Every structure is written in structure tokens, then in C-alpha cells.
Amino acid sequence: MKITTKQICAFAGATLAVSATASAQGNEAVQPTQDLERTTLTADADVDTDNNVTAEDIKQENPADLKELFKKSPSVVVNGGANMGQQVFVNGFESTQMNVTIDGASQGNLNHHQSSVLVDPSLLKRVDILPGAGSALDGPGALAGSIRFETKNVFDYLPYTSGVALGSKGPMNVEYERFGSDSKATYYSNGDGYGLSQTIYGKFTPEWGYLLSGAYTDRDEYEDGDGNTVGNSGYTQAAGLLKISGRLQNGHSIDLGVDYFENDSLSYDRVNIDPAFVGAPSPRSGPLQKMTSSRTTATLNYDFAPEHNDLVNVESNLFYTNQDLERQQTKETAAVETLGLDLRNTFKFWKLASTFGFDYQDKSGSKDWGNYAGTDPYYVNPSQDETEQIFGFYNQNILSVHEQVDFSFGVRYDNYDYTDSYDQEYSSDRFSPNASVIWRPTNALSVDAGYSEAYRGVGIREAFFNGQRPTDLEGEKANTLKANIAYDDGTFFGAGSIYQQEVENYLEPIAIRGAGTAGDITVQGYEASLGFRKNGFTTTLAVAEATPEANGEENTEVYGVVLAGRRWTADFNYTHANTGVGVGYFIEYRDSVDGQYLGYEDFPYTKESYALSSLYLTWDVQQVEGLNLQLNVDNLFDKQYMDHTVYESSGLYSPGRQLRISANYTF
């Protein structure tokens, strides 16, 4: 699929921008009207707050990578080792089994030996995580749920103002902030390196503004807890974001964004594998060479929610994403391109909120074996690119059956048409229903339980190993049973979840060897947390565990599904408002776990237990408005460990103690 600029520029559309009009009495000064930032009102009650990452979380943790970004999310684990090997797992399932979006743009998968999530945390506003097959609004192929990354915009820095307010003599103009800057520098002690980011933002008018942001990171190879240098773990990373945003009084909301990400590192073919495991350097490991992974994304979100009209709340998202992998010496390349559209409207009538929508994706995957082409039957260039078209129609509803009880229900229909690199054609479709009941006996307590299905047809699983599959292969069906409880009275809070996620006819992500289905995969698990907050002090204790079963074999891993064991976390932090000083301490303990890999049952393994501690100290310097100084210490006691997301015999040890020192100035 070759996508042109003209295709990207076409769109249809519309979420919510709420504006209000400030009033003034007599000759008093008029204050500008502030807007609620693009709040999406949709018929979707399934929001997993425990695992979400907020703007405050990002500020406190000052994350350099995905592992640090999700450190405090109980059910999210990230692969250890090299930066580009950081694969994300939620409830045991890799993100490749989920619908991952960046500002609504769906992401693909390049290679099963590296991360499929190409994003710089410094550009992010928040991350929402919804585990398991869930709402019809989660998008196509959301077998294990969805991950939604949202980047910053100008209104995160400069408050929305309508530009016009009512004074005693009628409409009058108001003043508004026109320009600002956010500069940040970070030093890393382990893997000696630095990170720089610069954001400038401003207003064209009170209702229109821009944000331009860039980030660069350069880090050397890190040392593990025993002081050993982990080879080829250094990297450079660059990212950029340009976003034009508008919040208009008549209910229109527009965000036009373009962002770019690039990671360069020196590596053998398998980024997430210890080179010694494959006898590097060897034909099996490939040569040591520069690898570049990159992503370019363009998004247009245009929403319309006229005031006092419960029948119209339109949200639209048009996007284009291109993900690339290049190995410099061997000239191997792989790419996934996606052009997509999501259009929906939510109306409210009586006690019902109902969302109807349509989504479409046009995808292509390409691969070139470069210097390897033709040297072996294993390295034969495909005759053509893979192509995939996905059409989806969906409806999701919330019906208030009682002042304390809501009933959520919906269905989506997905149709997949896929032509592989060998001109084999696959076509499949399916309806996926969902239903849940939400009970709120008090303002502080909510309980819900539900059943959901999701479907993903045969299609592009990864660009690099796009081999030939069986001609009679069918798609994957997922179902999730889940019950949740949450309590928050402002001081004490807690949450719990128990679930069973199943994927029937689980398709191997690697097609190069003619792989078909790995059978049925079931993950059973739970998550619980308790917390307390008062006078600037917050503490949270949490535990989570997800246990996979593959083809009836318990504690069994397969590509895209990991056995990580029980995870305990404790988080303590305190902020003194008068001085702007904050301090935090985080503990993680991972139980040991015995497991095996599907197809290698004669080689069981044990993943050893370990305990980690980290702390942070932050200071909003009140003598210099806008200046923040921060110290983060990871792996405080220099523990030697291998993250449970890696296969023990082939994985890389994680970093030992690391200091991150940063200065951030905003005006």
C-alpha cells in the first residue's frame, strides 16, 4: 500500500470541547473563561485506573524508557535488558495482542525480538490501559485489551480562553497567555549519558495554539548489579512532535499532530537475547551492526459536541503511521504502514447513552532480506507486500436501570481481508458482544462484573518474518470474564480485580516457518491494591499475578505470552506544599516462579525471586518560578537480577544502581 499526502489530508469528523462564558459585574475586570480539556463522553464504563499513567506519574518518575514509565502499574511488566528490547506485557499478554494507539493512531509490529511500542515518554500526557477483551470502543483486534498513549498539546500548558466574555456593556475581549517554553536536561549515571528535551508552545488566538517539542537521549552501555557491562545496551534516541490545536466556543475541537521517533543501537539480530546464547558472532546471531527503528505518525482528531444537544457528540480520528526497521550492514529492512479512520457519535436519551461508530484500517507490511536474500531457502524475499483491510462497525451503551445500577452492553462487527506475501487470500468476519453490570451503592464504592469478546482475523502479525501460513488458517477469538471492585472516599482507597482471559486459536506471530496456531491460550489472574492519602502523604500497596496456560499446559509461555510470577509493590510519597519538596520510595518484590516454554517441556526453568527499591526527591524551587530539580535513584541497593519477562537462559541482566538527575524550567 502506497499512501499519498492527499489520502492523509482527507477526513471526517468529531469528542467534546466544553466552553463557558464568564460574567463580570459593573466595571470589574473580566477573567478569561477556562475550558475542560477535551473530555470524551462515551458509552464506555470500563476504565482501569490502577494501571493508568497520569501526567503527575510521569512528572514524579521522570521516565527515560517504557520500563520506568510503567513501573508503578501493577499488572504491566516490561522486558528488561536493552532499550529496544523493552516489550510491554499486560496481564501476561504482550502489547502485540492488544490495540495500541498513539493519539488514536493504531500501531503495528516490526519484529518479535524487539519492542513494538515506539514512543518517547517525554512527549506523553497520559497512558490509559484497559486489559482484556472489553468495550466495543476498544477497536479491532483488541484480543487482550487496549493501550492508549496521548501526547501533550498547547492547552496542557496554557489554559483555554474563549477570547470573549460578557461585561456590563456586552461582549469584550480578554487577555490570554501567548507563549511559553519547557526545557529539561537529565543526566544518567549508569550507562553514562544524558537526555535533553525542549518544548515551545503558544497561542495564535485565544482558541488556537501550537506545540513544538523535541527530545534526544544518548546513553552508553550500562552495568548490571554485579558491575558487569552489558554489551550493546547503549543507544541514541530522538523524537519530535508538532501539534496544532483548537478549542472553539461552538463545540468544535481540533488536534492536528505529526510526531517522529527514532532509536539507533548496535546489536546482533536478536535485540532482547544475550548474544552468548546464540553463539555470537555466528551465522545464527547475525553480524554486530547498527539497527534503526523508527516511526512517523500523523493524526487529525476533529470532534463536535454542540452545547445543550444530547443527540450529538461526534468524535473522529484520521491517522497514518509508518514503522520501519533497518539493519545497516546486511541491508535488511521491514516496514508496516497503516492508514485508518474512526468515526463515532454518542447520543443520550432518557437513561441511555449510546455510541454508534465505524472504523477502517488499510495496512501493508514489507520485508527485504538485503544481503541475505537467496543465500538460503530461509532467506527468500517475498514476491509481494502483505496487505490487509479491516472494516468495523460497533455500538456500545450504558443504561441506567437504577440510581445505583448501570448496565453496559455492546457489540462490534469486524471484517478482515488479507493477502499475504505469497498471494494467498484470507477473509474472515465475526460479531463480538460484551455486557457488564456496574453497582455503585455509595459515592465511594463501585462493583462491576462482565463478559466480553474480541476478534482478530488472519493478517499482518509482524513485518520482519512475514512467511507463508497454512491456507485454511482461521482468525483468533478472545473472551474475558472479569469482576472489579473499587473504593475511594478521598482518604482511603483500594481496588481489586479477578479475571480469566482466553484466546482461542492463538496465532504464532512468526510466520516465516509456516507456523499456524499455537492452540488455545488462557490467562487467569488477579490484582489488588490498598492506599491512604492525607495532607500530602500517599501510600499504596499492590499485588498482581497472571498465570498463563497454553494448550492445557499450566505455567507455560509462548511467543507473545509471558509467565512473570506474583508481583508485590509498595509506594510511599510525600509532598510539602509550602516548600515544593516531594520525596518518594518504591519497593517491588517478585516471587520466584517455575515454568516452561511451549514445545520445550523437557527444559523447565525457575525464575528467581528478587526485591528492588527506588526513590525520588523533587523540588519546585519557589525562589525561581517554573524551576524543578529532581533526583531519581533506581535499583537503590544495586541488585543483580534478570527481569521475569525474559526467558531465563537467554535473557540480559537488568541495570544495577542508577542515578537520574534532572533540571526542568518552564515559563
Distance CA 353, CA 159 (A): 29
Residues whose CB is less than 8 angstroms from the CB of residue 381 and which lie 6 or more positions away in sequence, other chains included: 367, 368, 369, 373, 374
pLDDT reported for residue 14: 30
Q: Answer yes or no: are the C-beta atoms of 43 and 117 closer than 8 Å.
A: no
Q: Answer yes or no: are the C-beta atoms of 541 and 530 closer than 8 Å.
A: yes
Distance CA 469, CA 312 (A): 45
pLDDT reported for residue 512: 52
How many C-beta neighbours within 10 Å does residue 375 have?
Answer: 11
Distance CA 484, CA 528 (A): 10
Residues whose CB is less than 8 angstroms from the CB of residue 632 and which lie 6 or more positions away in sequence, other chains included: 61, 62, 614, 615, 616, 659, 660, 661, 662
- Secondary structure E strands in 403-444: 405-419, 425-439
Q: Answer yes or no: are the C-beta atoms of 406 and 399 closer than 8 Å.
A: yes
In 3D space, the residue among 227, 200, 223, 224 whose CA is nearest the CA of residue 211 turns out to be 200
In 3D space, the residue among 201, 198, 222 whose CA is nearest the CA of residue 156 turns out to be 201
pLDDT reported for residue 24: 31
How many C-beta neighbours within 10 Å does residue 228 have?
Answer: 12
pLDDT reported for residue 177: 75
Residues whose CB is less than 8 angstroms from the CB of residue 509 and which lie 6 or more positions away in sequence, other chains included: 96, 109, 112, 461, 462, 465, 559, 560
How many C-beta neighbours within 10 Å does residue 47 have?
Answer: 12
Residues in the chain predicted with pLDDT less than 50, given as ranges, are: 1-42, 46-48, 166, 170-171
In 3D space, the residue among 146, 153, 107, 155 whose CA is nearest the CA of residue 127 turns out to be 146
Residues whose CB is less than 8 angstroms from the CB of residue 110 and which lie 6 or more positions away in sequence, other chains included: 116, 293, 323, 324, 325, 334, 335, 336, 462, 463, 464
Distance CA 128, CA 53 (A): 7
pLDDT reported for residue 4: 39
Distance CA 588, CA 70 (A): 13
Distance CA 528, CA 545 (A): 10
Q: Answer yes or no: are the C-beta atoms of 32 and 329 closer than 8 Å.
A: no
pLDDT reported for residue 595: 87
